[in-house]
Amino acid sequence: MKITITGSLGNIGQRLTQQLTAKGHEVTVISHTPERAAAITALQAIPAIGQVNDPTFLQRAFADADAVFTMIPPHYTDVINYMKTVGDHYAAAIAAAGVKYVVNLSAIGAHLPDGPGPTKANYYVEQLLNALPDVHVLHLRPGMFYTNFYGAIPMIMHQHIIGNNFGADVKMVLSHPRDIADAAADALDTLSFSGKRIRYVAGDEKNGAEIAGILGKAIDQPALSWIAFPDEALLQGMIQSGMSEEMATVYMIEIGVALREGKLFDDYRRHANDAYGNTRLEEFAGEFAAAYASHQ
């Protein structure tokens, strides 16, 4: 089959591309970076260099594809409008190219029309794709990425704490990018889904105290503790680390508020038995320890 993948060769895209080309599929990988072309070709895939907010480019990249994998890259400014605009272009390109199967990377919380952070935009994109007639769509809804904890390494290293703007007793649904890639690869290889469906990707559920304990043990810091930061203090810390104020607010502050208020997981609870994901936090802790050691 001919499959087009958005998202370049990131934590999800590289593994997804490797699996699909190994199965004999003709894979086109979209990247905005010309320097990625060689790496894409090395994976026996076809590079398509351009911007996902360029509708003409997208229609060319989706042409003749039997299936596409859609994900919206992070953006530093005008986050929600950017996500919605890219979603509009995805839907238009899918319709124009006559694509019949779509695996869409969404997010936990996307059942909320006016949800926190990027979830409102994920909801919007899901509805756009669901409105496409005669197109089979599978929405993958992962939880919090394990790899986000890498951003806490400097704080752990210098202050011996980890935290967010919610307490140590607040549970998170956690997902590994490789489980997301595996779920997408299985769906795109078999095209065994039909209609409009959702599937959650979740490897574990842990609260802040459990996360601090498991990661602390892995890096030989058994006293590592989870700290609840005030919203403004966390925001300023994110800005000082180089994140834009808007991006920090959308991706960190608003999601943290929703977690401590228990708004994100009600739909996940109804579908948890069908969730895809094999990577437990204890397994990821080994990867975290290796990354931590590389910073020393």
CATH number assigned to the domain comprising residue 72 = 3.40.50.720
Is residue 227 situated within a structural domain? no
Q: How many CB atoms lie within 10 A of CB 270?
A: 11
Task: Quick: pLDDT tens for 232-265.
Answer: 999 998 898 888 899 889 989 999 999 998 889 9
Residue 296: pLDDT above 80? Answer: no
Supply the range of the domain harboring residue 130.
2-141+176-201
Is residue 186 situated within a structural domain? yes
Return the pLDDT at 244.
87
Is residue 105 situated within a structural domain? yes
Nearest to 177 by CA among 145, 138, 144: 145
Q: How many domains are contained in the chain? A: 1
Average pLDDT of the residues of the chain: 95
Is residue 85 situated within a structural domain? yes
Is residue 209 situated within a structural domain? no
Residue 96: pLDDT above 80? Answer: yes
Is residue 111 situated within a structural domain? yes
Is residue 149 situated within a structural domain? no
Mean pLDDT of 99-123: 96
Return the pLDDT at 247.
87
Here the contacts of 183-186 (C-beta below 8 Å, separation 24 or greater) are 183/140, 183/276, 183/277, 184/12, 184/16, 184/69, 184/103, 184/105, 184/140, 185/15, 185/16, 185/19, 185/20
Is residue 189 situated within a structural domain? yes
Task: Quick: pLDDT tens for 173-220.
Answer: 999 999 999 999 999 999 999 999 999 999 999 999 999 999 999 999
Query: Three-state DSSP class for 178?
Result: helix
**Local confidence band at 150 (pLDDT 50, 70, 90 cut-offs):** very high
Percent pLDDT > 70 in the chain is 100
